[in-house]
Chain A
Amino acid sequence: MITWRRIGLKDYVFPDIKEYTKEYLKNINNIPVDVKLNKITECANNAENHKFDISEVPALGKEFTSFVESSYNSGISIYLPQNIKLKSPIRLEFNMDDKNPTVVDHNIIIAEPNSEVTIVIDYNSDNKTKTFHNGFTKVYAKEDSIVNIVKIQRINDHSYNFDSNIALVKERAIVNWISIELGSSISGSNYSSILQDMASESNLHSIYLGDGTRKMDLGYTMIHKGPKSLSTIETKGVLKDKSKKIFRGDLNFKRGARHSKGSEEEYVILLDPTVKSDSIPALLCDEDDVEGDHAVSAGKIDESKLFYLMSRGLSEKESKKLIVEASFKPIIEKIPYEDLQKVISHEVERRLING
C-alpha cells in the first residue's frame, strides 16, 4: 500500500496487471541488423545481463520501480553497438482501452560508445476507461554516445500514471529528456540523470498542462559526479481550474564534480484562482568549483502581452492560448514527429479554449 500525501494517494494498492496485447513497436524497419531491439517480454534475461548501478537514485521510489521490474507487461530492450547512429527514431505507442487497461513498461536502453539513438514513447488511452500506467526506463549511455528520450503522456482524466526514468551518463555522453505531461487524474513522473564522468551531459525539457482536478508531481534530478559535467532543467507549465502541481528540481553537485555547471528554470502561468502550485527547487553542493543556479517564476499571464493581443482583435481566450503556445512551442518542436507535434498542439489548444 502506498501513501503519497502531496499527490493525494492514501493506502493505494496497484491494480491487477493484465497482459498488454496490442502492437506498440511502430517502426522497426531500417534498423541495422547488429542493433538488438526486442520486446522485453520476449527476452527475459536481457535485463539481467545489463544491470548497472543506479541504486542511488530513488526515482519515484522503490515501491514503484520494483513493481515494474517484477510485473512488467511491455517495454523494450535495445542494445546499440559501438559507432552505430540510428538516423530515424524508434517509436512506441501505448494505447490503453477496456481490453488493455494496464501498461507496466520496462525499458532498457544500452548505448555503446559513440552510438546515437532517439526513442519516442507515446502513452495515450481511450476517453473513458480507468487505466493504469507505471513505467521504468533505464538508460545507460556509454562514452560519447547520445540518447534522446521523448515521452508524451496524454492518458485520459480517469487514470493514474507513474513513470520513473534514470540515466547513467558516461564520459562525454549526452542524455536528453523531453517530457510532455498532459494527462491522467494523478500523475507522478520522475527523471534522474547521474553524470558519472568527465563532461557527461544531460538536459531535460518539459512542459505540463494542468486542468480539471489533475494532480501532478514532477521530479527532476541531476547528480553531478564527473568534472566538467553539464546539466539543464527547463520546465514550462500552465495551471488552470482546480489543478495542482508539485515541481521538484534537484541539482546535486557531488565532491569531485569540478568545473561543472547546472541550471534549472521553471516558469508557470497560473490561469485560475483555484490552482495550487508548489515548487521545491533544491541546490545541493559538496564541491566549491561549480556553477549552479536556479530560477522559478510564477504568476498570472503577462498583462501587457494580453492587452496587446486583445487590442489586435483577439478574444481573451485566444490571446491566452497564443501566449501559452508560444511558451510551449520550443519544447514541442523538439519532438521528431510532425504528427505528434500536431496532436499535442491541438490538445493544448482544445483544453485552453474549451476548458
Chain B
Amino acid sequence: MERKKTQIDDVDRGIYDIKNEFTYKYKTDKGLTPEIIMEISREKNEPQWMTDFRLKSLEIYNSKPIPTWGVDLSELDMDNIITYIRPNSKMQHSWDDVPDDIKNTFELLGLPQAERESLAGVGAQYDSEVVYHNIRKELVDQGIVYTDMETALVKYEDIVKEYFMKLVPPSDHKFAALHGAVWSGGSFVYVPEGVDVDIPLQSYFRLNAPGAGQFEHTLIIVEKGARLHFIEGCSAPKYKVNNLHAGCVELFVKENASLRYSTIENWSKNMYNLNTKRAVVDKNGTIEWISGSFGSKVSMLYPMSILRGEGARSEFTGISFASTGQHLDTGTKVVHAAPYTTSTVNSKSISKDGGYAFYRGLLKVAPDAHHCKASISCESLMLDNKSKSDTLPIIQLGNDEIDVGHEAKIGRISDEAIFYLMSRGISEEEAKAMIVRGFVEPITKELPLEYAVELNNLINIELEGTIG
C-alpha cells in the first residue's frame, strides 16, 4: 500500500522568530581585515596582549583552509558577515535599565521570569555584547564570580590570561582562529574551592542582526571540590541572509569538582553554527554535557571531554532534530588520558522532511590510560525517507585494560506501535508524537523543566500535519 504523506513546510517558530528592528550603537564593516580587528579591540578598550592575540589569530585564520569534510560550507561568505555589532545598550544589572525592545525580546524568551523563579544568576547577550548580567548576592558573598567576559578581562585579567583559549587554541581549526580574532561577549564563571552552587546559572545568547556573526566566549573554572550547573540558551530570528555563530566554550573542572553544562540551541534555519566546546577534567572530577541541537542550517558541534586526571568522569547526553534544509553534524569526543577514567555517551537524533542528522564521534584511549570504561550508544530515528541519518563513531584503543562498548540503532517508527496506539483510540499524529516523545524522554528528563516543556512543544510543532 502506498503511504501518503502531507507536510507543512515552514512551521511557525513562534517567539523565536520575532525580530526587532536592527539598531546598533556601533558596528564594524563587513568582512575581516587587521583594521577591523584592531577597531574591535579599540572599541572594547582591551589590553595590548589581547589585541596581539586577536591579530595573531587572524593570521592563523587566513592560513587555514576551510574544512572539506562534514558539512557544505561553500555558501558561507565571510566577506559578507558583520563580525561586531554593539547594541544600543550598556551592560546593566537590572532589567529595568535595559532598553524596552531588547528587554521585551528576553521577556518573550522567558529569561527574566526564569531568573526570578529558578536561577541563581543570568547573563543575556544581544548581538555582540552582553546587555544584562546579574547574580544573587549570596553567591557573590561565597566568592563566586559570574560576569561577562569583557568585565572579566578588566577585573580578573590574570585569570583570563592564564586560561583564555588555552584549551581551544586558535591553531585548533579555522573557526577557532576566527573566534580568537573577533570574539566578543560571553560569560565568565569562577567557582572557588569547595563551593556548591545548587541552583543553575544561565546565559542566553540572542542574535538579532541580519548577516551578522556571534562569537561569544564562555570560560568556566570550577575549583577543587566545587559544583556548578550552567545553562546556555541560544536563538535567533530567521533572515534571508546567512548568519554565523562561532562561539567557544572552555571548561576547567578541577579535582573532585563537578560541572553540568546544558545547552539548548534553537538557532533559526539561516544560521551556520560552528561552535567549539571543550572541557578538561582533573582527578575524580565530573563533566556532564546535556546538549540539544534543534535549529541552524548547518551545525558542526562536537563537545569534547579530556579526562586527564585519574578517576575523571564524563557523561554526554545529546539530541539533535534535523528538519527541512538542515544538516546537523554533531557528536562528541572523549579522550581518556588517565587511568580509571569513565565515560558515557548517549546520543539520539531525529530527522524528518529532508533533514540530515549525522552523528560523528570519537573515543580515544591513551596507551597509559588503563582500567578505563566507556560506553557509547547512538540511536537515530527517521520519520520519512526524504531524510538522511548517518552514524560514524570512531573508537581508538591504545591498551588492553579497558572495557568499551558501543551500540547504535537506526530505523523508523514501527507500524505496529502506531497501529497499537491507534487501536486504543489515539489519532495517528498523536501516536507518532507520543512515540517520538518516548524516544527523547531519557534526554528531556535531564533538562531543566522549562526546556523539557520547550522541547516537547518543538516536537509537537514539527510533527504537526505530518501524516505518515
A281 to B393, CA, bound (A): 6
* B396 part of interface (Cβ distance < 8 Å): yes
Interface digits, B380-402 against A, CB 8 Å rule (1 contact, 0 not)?
A: 10111101111111111111111
Select B396's contact among A278, A284, A295, beta carbons within 8 Å.
A278
With a cutoff of 8 Å between Cβ atoms, the chain A residues found around residue B393 in the complex are 280-281
Structural contact, B380 and A285, CB atoms closer than 8 A: yes
Select A288's contact among B370, B390, B412, beta carbons within 8 Å.
B412
* A333 part of interface (Cβ distance < 8 Å): no
With a cutoff of 8 Å between Cβ atoms, the chain B residues found around residue A345 in the complex are none
| Secondary structure dominating the interface of B | strand
Interface 9-mer from A72-80, A141-149, A265-273: A265-273
Interface digits, A260-297 against B, CB 8 Å rule (1 contact, 0 not)?
A: 00000000001111111111111111111111111111
With a cutoff of 8 Å between Cβ atoms, the chain B residues found around residue A272 in the complex are 400
Structural contact, A276 and B406, CB atoms closer than 8 A: no
State the Cβ distance, B328 to closest chain A Cβ, in Å. 14
Interface size class of A (residues with CB under 8 A): 35 or more
Q: Which of A253, A273, A285, A291 has the most CB of B within 10 A?
A: A285
* B408 part of interface (Cβ distance < 8 Å): yes
- 7 more contacts with CB within 8 A, not counting A285-B390, A292-B408, are A271-B400, A278-B397, A279-B395, A285-B382, A285-B410, A292-B410, A299-B402
State the Cβ distance, B3 to closest chain A Cβ, in Å. 9
**Contact flag A296-B406 (CB < 8 Å), given A273-B370, A280-B392, A282-B391:** yes
Structural contact, B399 and A284, CB atoms closer than 8 A: no
* A255 part of interface (Cβ distance < 8 Å): yes
With a cutoff of 8 Å between Cβ atoms, the chain B residues found around residue A282 in the complex are 390-392
With a cutoff of 8 Å between Cβ atoms, the chain B residues found around residue A239 in the complex are 400
With a cutoff of 8 Å between Cβ atoms, the chain B residues found around residue A281 in the complex are 393, 406, 408
* A300 part of interface (Cβ distance < 8 Å): yes
With a cutoff of 8 Å between Cβ atoms, the chain A residues found around residue B394 in the complex are 278-280
| Secondary structure dominating the interface of A | strand
* B31 part of interface (Cβ distance < 8 Å): no
Interface digits, B103-133 against A, CB 8 Å rule (1 contact, 0 not)?
A: 0000000000000000000000000000000
- Number of B interface residues at 8 Å Cβ cutoff, please give it: 33
The residues of B with any CB-CB pair to A shorter than 8 Å are: 367, 370, 380, 382-385, 387-412
Closest to A240 in B: B400
State the Cβ distance, B285 to closest chain A Cβ, in Å. 24
**Contact flag A295-B406 (CB < 8 Å), given A282-B390, A288-B387:** yes
**Contact flag A283-B408 (CB < 8 Å), given A288-B385, A288-B387:** yes
With a cutoff of 8 Å between Cβ atoms, the chain B residues found around residue A289 in the complex are 385, 412
Select A294's contact among B370, B384, B400, B407, beta carbons within 8 Å.
B407
Pick 22 A–B contacts, CB within 8 A, sort by A. Answer: A258-B385, A270-B399, A272-B400, A273-B367, A274-B399, A278-B394, A279-B394, A284-B390, A285-B410, A286-B388, A287-B385, A290-B411, A291-B409, A294-B407, A294-B408, A296-B395, A296-B406, A297-B406, A298-B397, A298-B403, A298-B405, A300-B400
With a cutoff of 8 Å between Cβ atoms, the chain B residues found around residue A276 in the complex are 396-398
With a cutoff of 8 Å between Cβ atoms, the chain A residues found around residue B385 in the complex are 255, 258, 286-289
Select B403's contact among A277, A279, A295, A299, beta carbons within 8 Å.
A299
